[in-house]
Structure 1
Amino acid sequence: MAPTVPSETTMMRRAAVVVGLASLLAGVAATAGGAVRFRATNAASSTAGGKRFGRDVGVAYSRRVLSDASSFCWKTFNQPSPGPGSRKPVSSVTLVVEDIGGVAFTSGNGIHLSAQYVGGYSGDVKTEVAGVLYHEVTHVWQWDGQGQANGGLVEGIADYVRLKAGYAPGHWVKPGQGDRWDQGYDVTARFLDYCDSLKPGFVAQLNAKLKGGYSDDFFAQILGKNVQQLWQEYKAKYGA
């Protein structure tokens, strides 16, 4: 008996079911690990930057980046699950695109992205926004020494996550460049990457210590050398 060939309509229905299941699974993945929800809103859709965001980036893509960046942070900080001694008890991460200056800022679990920055960016804006979101999502999940941590270190850790995720822009400093280890952003990110190369998992251990407070001595506790010595050795390695 010859096999029955499904009609075109039946095949289309099956394909629709597969797509629907894939979307459902994607939604489950996005809310896994403590049922974290990710939301994005374009509140500047009438502006030039807001229109470019809607056209070249989009709310759906941004929501996916929030989820992916959160998972990357949990992996980087060795925080596979929520709970005491692990990651922050955050139930949602939100993004709002607004008609504001600057680039972006994070307050609590809310990220605010500048539509003006999106509108004026001259390169691949989709990739740039993804990199900015990886940085800002890190601020949602990282510990800051109960407000005592050096601001340059806090920003450096956020850029370290962006660096390791593959979103470091071409204008960042090269390894070894910079004036101080706690200069912040790309300078500190490169230094932290060096420290992590000395002891893989260093940044995760540093972040864990930052849950309860801050001391420059954390570097010595983890790596056996004070931070100034590490900085000098880092500079010497790259001849900077």
Structure 2
Amino acid sequence: MKPLHVATVVASLLALAAAVSPAGAVTFDATNTASNTPGGRRFDQAVGLGYAKRVLSDASTFIWSTFNQRSPAGRKPVDAVTLVVEDIGGVAFTSGNGIHLSARYVGGYSGDVKTEVTGVLYHEATHVWQWNGQGRANGGLIEGIADYVRLKAGYAPGHWVKPGQGDRWDQGYDVTARFLDYCDSLRPGFVAQLNAKMKDGYSDDFFAQILGKGVQQLWQDYKKKYGG
């Protein structure tokens, strides 16, 4: 048997590692510090830490694809994403690369809690990876992009606004997500281009630079299309 060159073996092992680990060198971890509460117990029973870690990995891969970030060089330099289920109010929040999920929200949710938590994690994982215009982008757009990712992943809840609804393009969350989906339909890859521009700063003029129309005109066109 002909001996293999060391470099060939190493290259083959690296290729195999990349194939079985789509999230690359990023690690994902989840803990539940509220297991002694009703919501924490429901999380353990209906969702589970193992499933949550898989969702974080799958969501990250989906986000990189949505943002057209095929190589780690184009992404935020994050090597670990963590989730903590806590006895806190609200739904969830993200600080840096750490996601915090409310056990109280999990405990009080009346629908399919596993699907809901999955959608929340897609939204929050987007906050880990998205660019924020060096802090200059408005919060409505940041939240809208996170909900856009949740929408494209197929986890938009039934109570979200319908296309064309809302008062302002930067109202945030589902309103802005629907508007961004419209913008992306005009130029596929628009959200990826917008996010890329937001690496170094932010201006509403980014919409015109990519789509040839100002954001207010695009909002008017969007409302008109859906009879808003």
TM-score between the two structures when normalised by the length of structure 1: 0.86
CA positional deviation for 1:82: 0.8
Preserved CA contact (<8 Å) 1:36 1:93: yes
1:1-240 to 2 correspondence within 5 Å? 31-83=21-73, 86-240=74-228
CA distance in structure 2 between the aligned counterparts of 1:82 and 1:134, rounded to whole angstroms? 19
The superposition leaves residues 137-159 of structure 1 with CA deviations (integer Å, 9 ceiling, x where unpaired) of: 00000000000001100000000
Counterpart-to-counterpart distance in 2, 1:203 and 1:74: 12
CA contact (8 A) 1:66 1:134 kept: yes
In 1: Cα distance, 2:23 partner to 2:155 partner: 24
- Measure how far apart 1:79 and its partner are: 0.4
Aligned counterparts of 1:30 and 1:77: Cα–Cα separation in 2: 22
Corresponding residue of 2:11: none
> Secondary structure, in 3 states, of the residue corresponding to 2:72?
coil
Q: Secondary structure at the match of 1:171?
A: coil
Q: Name which one, 1 or 2, has greater alpha-carbon Rg.
A: 1
Deviation at 1:29, TM superposition (A): 6.4
Give the unaligned 5+ runs of structure 1: 1-26
Q: Give, in whole Å, the separation in 1 of the partners of 2:23 and 2:32.
A: 26
Aligned residue pairs total: 212
1:35 aligns to what SS in structure 2?
A: coil
Q: Percent identity?
A: 81
C-alpha displacement of 1:81: 1.4
**Cα distance in 1 between the residues matched to 2:85 and 2:209:** 41
Does the CA-based 8 Å contact 2:42-2:106 persist in structure 1?
yes
RMSD: 1.2
On the 8 A contact 2:22/2:61 being kept in 1, the answer is: no
Cα distance in 1 between the residues matched to 2:65 and 2:99: 21
Task: Please give the alpha-carbon distance, in whole angstroms, between the structure 2 residues aligned to 1:82 and 1:90.
Answer: 9
State how far apart, in whole Å, the 2-side matches of 1:105 and 1:180 are.
Answer: 23
Q: Deviations over 1:177-197 (max 9, x none)?
A: 000000000000000000000
Please, which runs of 5 or more residues in structure 2 have no aligned partner?
Answer: 1-16
CA distance in structure 2 between the partners assigned to 1:137 and 1:122 by the alignment: 23
SS in 2 for 1:111: strand
TM-score between the two structures when normalised by the length of structure 2: 0.91
